[in-house]
């Protein structure tokens, strides 16, 4: 695992990836072993592209790499607080701002990164084959089934989803901890963890955000959907991408 740039950095326990994260003042360092260099470099490139769009988020400050020691990505910190830490009184307004900002994200053009559905399903199939599905990411209902059965549900629904595919620029992991807000104005101050950013079906973001609002806030996501512009979202696509996502982490 690559070390941060100096001994002054403090480790922080955030994220779910196979990286180590450190903080120094208003700067973060994400470090990986040699096997993770390609993924971390891909995240670096996405952060760089995203910053150039004018969207709020981190900026790349440094990149350190060695073939034997791994790599370290240094970025600026994003102001504000993560969505999962907002108090209940702020959540209705925050949902509306979140719907609006995702709509703006999905309206971006000329994104050079893609996340084809076939590739995502192939990743899920590999995770399932290796027995690497993390049960913590599954609902109680899904934990009663074998991962192969869950994957079979995904495969069965794939033709329908492909028939209505609506590709846009997606965050790829649009969960509340990855969306930062000004705690006073509730304006979105930045999007973080862009390792999965790319062209994908818009419901891949909508599904994750919707289930997060339910699980983390016990909230009716109607204000979010209204602000996004889909007051009556397709339940089959929401379910499909909600089920697919946890099969891809492993």
Residues 27-45 have a mean pLDDT of 94
Q: What is residue 3's predicted lDDT score, i.e. its pLDDT?
A: 72
Residues 8-32 have a mean pLDDT of 85
The pair of three-digit structure tokens given for residue 174, joined into one six-digit string:
């649009």
pLDDT above 90: residue 17: no
Residues labelled catalytic: 173
- Please state the φ and ψ torsions of residue 231, each to the nearest 5 degrees: -65, -20
DSSP secondary-structure letter at 76?
A: E
The pair of three-digit structure tokens given for residue 206, joined into one six-digit string:
């909508």
Task: Tell me the pLDDT band of 241, cut-offs 50, 70 and 90.
Answer: very high
The pair of three-digit structure tokens given for residue 209, joined into one six-digit string:
């955000």
* Distant-in-sequence, close-in-space partners of 144: CB < 8 Å, separation ≥ 6: none
Mean of per-residue pLDDT scores for the chain: 95
pLDDT above 80: residue 14: no
Say if pTM beats, i.e. exceeds, 0.75. yes
Structure confidence by residue, pLDDT tens digits, 201-234: 999 999 999 999 999 999 999 999 999 999 999 9
Q: Which residues of 10-47 are buried (b: 16+ CB within 10 A; e: fewer)?
A: eeeeebebebbbbeeeebbbbbbeeebbebbebbbebb
Task: Tell me the pLDDT band of 18, cut-offs 50, 70 and 90.
Answer: confident
198-201 and 167-170 as β-strands: parallel, antiparallel, unpaired? antiparallel
**27 three-state secondary structure:** strand
Residues 30-55 have a mean pLDDT of 95
Task: Identify the H or E element spanning 85.
Answer: none
Q: What is residue 6's predicted lDDT score, i.e. its pLDDT?
A: 77
Q: Where are the alpha helices (DSSP H) in 78-202?
A: 91-106, 117-129, 140-143, 147-163
Task: Tell me the pLDDT band of 109, cut-offs 50, 70 and 90.
Answer: very high
Question: Number of C-alpha atoms within 13 angstroms, CB side, residue 218?
Answer: 3
pLDDT above 70: residue 16: no
Residues 30-37 have a mean pLDDT of 92
> Radius of gyration of the chain from Cα atoms?
18
* Distant-in-sequence, close-in-space partners of 47: CB < 8 Å, separation ≥ 6: 57, 58, 59, 60, 73, 75, 194
Structure confidence by residue, pLDDT tens digits, 154-182: 999 999 999 999 999 999 999 999 999 99
Q: If you search the block for the tokens 């709020």, which residue do you land on? A: 56
Task: Tell me the pLDDT band of 15, cut-offs 50, 70 and 90.
Answer: low
Q: What is residue 68's predicted lDDT score, i.e. its pLDDT?
A: 80
Structure confidence by residue, pLDDT tens digits, 113-142: 999 999 999 999 999 999 999 999 999 999
Query: Which of 104, 30, 102 lies closest to 62, judged by CA?
Result: 30
- Residue 125's region, left for phi above 0, alpha for psi from -120 to 50, else beta, is alpha
Q: What is residue 13's predicted lDDT score, i.e. its pLDDT?
A: 76
Domains and CATH numbers, the chain: 10-76 (3.30.200.20), 81-248 (3.90.1200.10)
Task: Identify the H or E element spanning 200.
Answer: strand 198-201
Q: What is residue 147's predicted lDDT score, i.e. its pLDDT?
A: 98
Biggest alpha carbon–alpha carbon distance for the chain? 53
pLDDT above 90: residue 244: yes
Q: What is residue 164's predicted lDDT score, i.e. its pLDDT?
A: 98
């Amino acid at each position: 695992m690559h070390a941060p740039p100096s001994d002054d950095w403090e480790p922080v326990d955030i994220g779910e990836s196979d990286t180590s994260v450190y903080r120094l003042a208003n700067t973060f360092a994400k470090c990986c072993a040699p096997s993770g260099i390609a993924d971390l470099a891909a995240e670096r490139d996405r952060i760089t592209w995203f910053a150039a769009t004018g969207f709020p988020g981190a900026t790349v400050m440094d990149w350190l790499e060695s073939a034997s020691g791994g790599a370290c990505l240094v970025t600026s910190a994003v102001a504000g607080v993560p969505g999962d830490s907002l108090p209940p009184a702020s959540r209705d307004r925050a949902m509306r701002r979140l719907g609006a900002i995702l709509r703006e994200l999905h309206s971006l053009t000329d994104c050079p990164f893609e996340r084809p559905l076939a590739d995502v399903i192939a990743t899920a199939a590999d995770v399932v084959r290796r027995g690497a599905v993390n049960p913590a990411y599954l609902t109680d209902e899904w934990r009663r089934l074998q991962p192969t059965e869950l994957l079979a549900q995904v495969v069965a629904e794939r033709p329908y989803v492909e028939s209505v595919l609506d590709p846009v620029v997606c965050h790829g992991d649009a969960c509340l901890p990855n969306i930062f807000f000004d705690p006073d104005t509730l304006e979105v101050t930045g999007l973080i963890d862009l390792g999965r950013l790319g062209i994908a079906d818009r419901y891949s973001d909508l599904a994750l955000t919707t289930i997060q609002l339910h699980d983390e806030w016990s909230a009716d996501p109607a204000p979010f959907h209204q602000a996004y512009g889909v007051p009556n979202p397709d339940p089959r696509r929401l379910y499909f991408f909600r089920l697919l996502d946890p099969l891809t982490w492993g």
